[in-house]
Amino acid sequence: MWPAERDFTLTEGDRLIRFGPGALADAPRLLAQEGFAGYALLTTRRAAGQAPDVAERAAVVVDVPHGQVPDAAAEVRGAVGSRPLVALGGGRVVDVAKAIGSADGLSVATIATTLSGAELSAHHRPLPGHEDGPRMRPALVIADPALMASQPTPGLAESAMNALAHALEALYTPRANPVSEGTALEAARQLDAGFDEEEPTRSALALGALLAGHAMGVTGFAVHHVLSQTVVRVAGTPHGATNAAVLPAVVPFMRPRAPRELRLFDDAVDVDRLRAAAGNVTLAALDVDRALLPQIAKAAAARSGDLAATPGPPISAGDLEALLDAAF
């Protein structure tokens, strides 16, 4: 395993990734170096307080409102102007920045404060009217473990389960390859190591989330994310906790569909240990109305193009409802 406490910088074409305990302190230099002078900072009050130097240097600080990404992006779009964007926050904040950047042709940098992995991919919901436009992948990723893994448990463990789902799905989509597989398995090992002591090893969790997001950014996603995203949209549940509830149902569902990949995954991580750290969260514990399960399954089944990335026979609404029932 790579030493999780070790700094590194990775340059991939037009993207620069800086990981390590010193990454936040290096943010002003990196932002200036990579063309983000005069940036608009998209953030929340909590996140801005964690990186005051970044907030003070912004041309404008924009508080991202609660709500679905397209609605939040539309609400704050006018405050950004034509400035480059810096997203300081969790996955929703990053996705709002990506949606605005995509619609208006603006560069995006990210400083993550959770394990969401959103900063590593071009996956995001678009602004209304821009559904057919290009998706935005951030050009600069500043990843400091002290910020990324700053949540207390069990929220931190829920976020780690979300990251673990990225690693799992990266193993078996049609775009999986030896590079993404190696990255995903290292991510799973790091996330597992993050909870193998009484206190979380936050550097390992941060590195695991970074690698998992990178792998899924290459391969795309399949049934787990289709189902989890649909639960969030229909039932209004928290993103990280929903993924933590759904993942233990998806893993056994996938074993006969991708036996080789699931053996590798099982060798890399103890899902039950992470699940316990997350409080063994279920959809019932998230106050999902059981009567909604058929509606959620039907809505998820309508995303047939995304579901088709899952190996094995076509997935039906009945399969999805059974998975939801197992996660309940």
91-96: list long-range contacts, CB under 8 Å, 24+ apart.
91/116, 91/117, 91/118, 91/239, 92/64, 92/239, 93/42, 93/43, 93/44, 93/47, 93/64, 94/118, 94/119, 94/124, 94/138, 95/69, 95/124, 95/125, 96/42, 96/64, 96/69, 96/72
Give the pLDDT of residue 153: 85
Give the pLDDT of residue 133: 74
Greater model confidence, 153 or 327: 327
Confidence class for position 125, pLDDT limits 50, 70, 90? confident
pLDDT tops 90 at residue 270: yes
Q: What percent of the chain has pLDDT over 70?
A: 100
The mean per-residue pLDDT over the stretch 212-232 comes to 96
Give the neighbor-by-neighbor strand order of the sheet with 108-112: 8-12, 15-19, 140-143, 108-112, 85-89, 40-43, 60-63
Give the pLDDT of residue 127: 80
- Inter-axis angle of helices 239-254 and 317-327, nearest 10: 120
Closest to 205 in 3D by CA, of 97, 117, 75, 118 = 117
Confidence class for position 82, pLDDT limits 50, 70, 90? very high
Question: Which domains, from first to last, does the chain contain?
Answer: 8-148 (3.40.50.1970), 155-327 (1.20.1090.10)
Report the run of H or E that residue 87 belongs to, with start and end: strand 85-89
Pairing assessment for the beta strands 15-19 and 8-12 based on DSSP bridges? antiparallel
What distance in Å separates the CA atoms of residue 90 and residue 317, rounded to the nearest whole number? 31
Confidence class for position 122, pLDDT limits 50, 70, 90? confident
Pairing assessment for the beta strands 108-112 and 60-63 based on DSSP bridges? unpaired
Give the pLDDT of residue 11: 95
